[in-house]
Structure 1
Amino acid sequence: MGTAIFMVLMVCGYWYTNSDLSSRIRIRRTSGWDLYFLVALYGCLFVMQGIVATGLLWLLLLLASATNNQIPALHISKHAEWHADLMTWSFLGLQGPVLLMQGFAIAFCFYYSNLAPGSRLDTSGRHRLYKAVSRANDVEGILLQCMEQGELAWVTLKSRRIYIGMIQTASFANPATANLVLVPMLSGYRDSEKLNFNVEHNYARWYRRHQISFTSEPRSAMSFRKVIMLDQVESISLFDPASASVLTGDG
């Protein structure tokens, strides 16, 4: 019996975490034992709901039995004890209440995974979800702010390479392939002695001279985009071009 309950618990937890978008994002950022406990946590919630639903059904049968026994006109069965019959009923060696609890748990899991409104988010709903999730991660928060407000980002790599540009997209679904796509405005490197930023390529000036924009044809600014793996990033910060003179430099 315990094995059957544990199997339903884990299956419901796994089913829900792979169907619900917010849970799927959270579970992909979890590893090790935390992953198993997270799945078990969701499974426990559904099992507890199944226990509560079974208890409510038992109370309903108790009231129905009492009503049937007290009102002669409603006699469906003499000395009805439907609540007791529920507790003694069994199927394939499993007690009836346990089977009902498991059935309710699976039903709740199916509803929340496939039929609940939160499982069918539109574009705006997904955007709100990602925005809420990014609050727990400063890196994602900065990247989302850059994408929403068109802010420039200062990205420093572990190799001391520096890119300043506009963040187009960022992917965090798989830690092994997590990356960001940046359209550069400036690129260069940090001096190893004085740690000054030395500009090598002034993409912004190149765009102006050749009338390149995000919508220009046949070549647009997206042709110069850089895909940067997040495991190569040392730091990310906002960049204010109004307070910096490097944008007008001759790099």
Structure 2
Amino acid sequence: MADFQGQYFLAGNLNSPSLQELAWLDGDTLRRVGQGILGDSWVNDLQEFQGKLYIAGEYNVGAGNAATSLSTWDGQDFADPFPGVQFITQAIDLDVRNGELYFSGRTQLPGSTDYYTLGRYDGERLCLFGKNLNTVFLTIAATEEYLYVAPNMITLGLGGDTVNYIARWDLSYLGDTCIQIIASVPEKPFGADWSVGPSPFTNQLQISSASGIPAQSRMQLLDAAGRILYEAPLGVTGQSAATLSIPATSAGMLVALIRDGTGAVVAQRSLFRLPP
């Protein structure tokens, strides 16, 4: 249960097909929130953070949900809070402390075989930690200095204190991998004759246009706040493809803009840059 925008929200494995696992309390009546959480699903936890309701559970984007395992509700729409981050188990527990959202559940980054068991998010930067630990963390609770976790087994390999199936994580350590999350640069429909990729990428991007690259066109790479991290011309007019070597920038979700000689955006795409 959570108090969000002056209303009480209730979620779980609700035994009512009309509610779809997520409801708000209207007097003495439960009413469904939007389309609800679709599929053979359930919700484990709710938590308000920075004006959005975070919904952790067992559900899948393939059933018509906005995301897999962790999504947000802003009062009107569901959304994926961490595009490019893949949940490979259900999102289990949520907590807010120190101006950050903490969550448990196994995640992966595109193109990587590593997985992470915990996460922390401050509204701009997502840090994943508990790398490749052979356990699943269940209930979590944060203090000023530590994140306490209850795993489903004792063989943690954390190298720290473990007492009676409860471990703690020193929050002075940010995480194994930190990435910026796109929040302020929406994606527009992509021109059908343009291709930008690959995604995920490391050091190079390939840009191509079936109709040829316009005169004096260039590419800009933006971070989550819309700041230009990199800009370069796309080469000789009339070429159909260009390859750019990208210097070190922030890892995580970035936005590539292709502009023609007038400065107009002719293509846009969200890309995921792998950590070094």
Between Structure 1 and Structure 2, the one with more helix by share is 1
The answer to which structure has the higher strand fraction is 2
Please report the TM-score for the alignment, with normalisation by the length of structure 1. 0.25
Q: 1 or 2 for the larger relative contact order (CA 8 Å, sep ≥6)? A: 1
TM-score (norm 2): 0.23
